[in-house]
Amino acid sequence: MRKFTAGMLAAVMASAAALSGCSAVGGGGKTELNFWYGWTGPEAEALEKLIKEFNDTHDGIKVKGLSQSDYQKQLTAITGGNPPDIASQFGQNVASWGVKGAMIPLDEYIKKDQVDLADFIPSALSTSQYEGKTYAIPVAMHFSMLYYNKDLLKEAGFDGPPKTIAELKTYAEKLSVVQEGGRLDRLGLWPGADAYTFTQVFGGKFWDPDKKEVTPDDPGFKQAILLSKELWDKYGTENLDRFSASLGKYQSSQNPFFSGKYAMALDGEWLPTFIKQYAPGLNYGIAPIPYSEDKPELKNAGSIATSVFYIPKGAKHPDQSWTFLKWLTEKQQMVKFTAALGNLPTRLSSLDDKTYDSVPGFKEYTEYAKSPNLKSFPTLPFMNEYMDEITKKYNDILRGKVGVDEGLKQIKDKIQPLVGK
């Protein structure tokens, strides 16, 4: 187990004092809780409304929210002994922070208050758990679906989106427009597509819990890499780099999908809200991720990521912090929060809530969220290092800097030694 060292503690004491999230008993005898969250702008405003609602309806506790998007400052404050009372985090950090002792296990609170964990989507909940302990509660989740430009597909002779991987390849090639001399004018699908999503399509895995072994060489992950590599090699790195440099900013009217530079795209549940804002005239559809003809049982596959709430180690009032965390992740509050953000709820009982009827694109996502083939990356203490190494080698493989098998071996050689540390 990793532990904080005396050197680490000394190094952060000065800054921790300035970042103190220390709670106190405020006016009227109320326990004051400091809540750090990573959202900003309108999203932070939505959370502040819920904080006010809690304060107005709960005697004895007053929550003060602070938008703090630098998550490293949370760890600095925890290490220095002055943490906030409750904070938000990404699911991918839970195992690492949990085994470091930075997060308080919540299992006793969950048992005492009989919180029904069965109401949470299993893959979303798994991002908050490690080795039998629950370190956080997931409040929102994210996964990709296939977006397609209806006008461009119709123009190419297609009457609907691709349903299988073979069809996806056919669509991607036919929808791409290559000018004389080989310069790209449009891509049917960006060839560096989400390897995590397609790993689930091919039934791949990243971790063998029985052998305690990372498995980047798993056949399903390799198939996902080869799918992108095949598309990438068709156009070449130099051509794709030149095309990519001409594309507009993601959150603007020049988003390549909005402007017709991509005929199809894999993207998250927030995209329809951006389309409504930046490209209201776009004639688009949202479809399931195409499935592999060899694994039809894995239809509606995908890769889930989450946002979570947790109680930091050293929180001055953990019981009151739990009261707020539990309330914030109950169905009613979760629906309000995720609908305001355009994020997906993690509770199964929330998926059919009519509040989401007014959120663009949510009908397709909430239905898809019921699929048993949505999985998350395995929750591991070295999860970030593992994913970072995948990103590096994936890029090297696509660009021909290393072969597929050698690249996957290099991932394993670098990450396997981290197991058990």
At residue 42, the pLDDT reads: 87
3-state secondary structure of 193: coil
Rounded to whole angstroms, the Cα distance separating 85 from 67 reads: 14
Please tell me the total number of residues recorded for the chain in this structure: 421
At residue 25, the pLDDT reads: 52
| Cβ atoms of 408 and 216 closer than 8 Å | yes
Encoded tokens for 216: 């980047």
Compute the mean pLDDT over every residue in the chain, rounded to the nearest whole number: 92
Pairing of strands 262-267, 145-149: antiparallel
Rounded to whole angstroms, the Cα distance separating 280 from 241 reads: 29
Where do the DSSP E strands lie in 75-228? 86-90, 129-130, 133-134, 137-142, 145-149, 177-178, 184-189, 207-208, 213-214
Rounded to whole angstroms, the Cα distance separating 302 from 143 reads: 7
Start-to-end CA span in the chain (Å): 7
Rounded to whole angstroms, the Cα distance separating 337 from 342 reads: 9
pLDDT along the chain (421 residues), means of 10: 35 36 56 96 93 96 94 91 96 95 97 97 96 97 97 97 98 94 91 94 97 97 97 94 94 96 96 94 98 97 97 96 98 95 95 94 95 96 96 97 98 96 76
Range list of H helices, 209-269 = 219-235, 237-245
- How far does CA 290 lie from the centroid of its chain? 20
Residue 140, amino acid: A
At residue 3, the pLDDT reads: 36
At residue 27, the pLDDT reads: 52
pTM: 0.88
